[in-house]
Amino acid sequence: MESNIHNIANLFAQLGLPNDSGAIDAFIATHAPLPHDVPLSEAPFWSPVQAAFLKTEIAEDADWSAVIDTLDVQLRAAG
C-alpha cells in the first residue's frame, strides 16, 4: 500500500496554482481572512473544479485532508 504524505506546495500544485513559497504566502495574504462561517470549499476564490476537489477530499477524510485542514487554518488566521 502506498502512503501519500502531502504538503502545502503539493496541494497548490494539485489545485493548479503556483506552488513556490512566495506564491503560497501571497495567495494566503490575498484571500485571508476567510470568515469562519464559510466552509473552505465554498470560498469564492476557488474554481468549480478546485472547490469540488477540496470538498470531496475533506468529506472522504482522504490523504489530502490534513494539508487541506492546514490551509484552512492559515486562511482563517491570516489577514
The residue extents of the domains of the chain are: 8-77
Q: Residue 1's pLDDT is what?
A: 35
Q: Does the pLDDT at position 2 exceed 60?
A: no
Q: Summarize pLDDT for 21-58 with one digit per residue, the tens.
A: 999 999 999 999 999 999 999 999 999 999 999 999 99
List the grid coordinates of 23.
506564491
Question: How many beta carbons lie within 10 A of that of residue 74, not counting itself?
Answer: 18
Entry pTM: 0.89
The architecture of the domain spanning 8-77 is: Orthogonal Bundle (1.10)
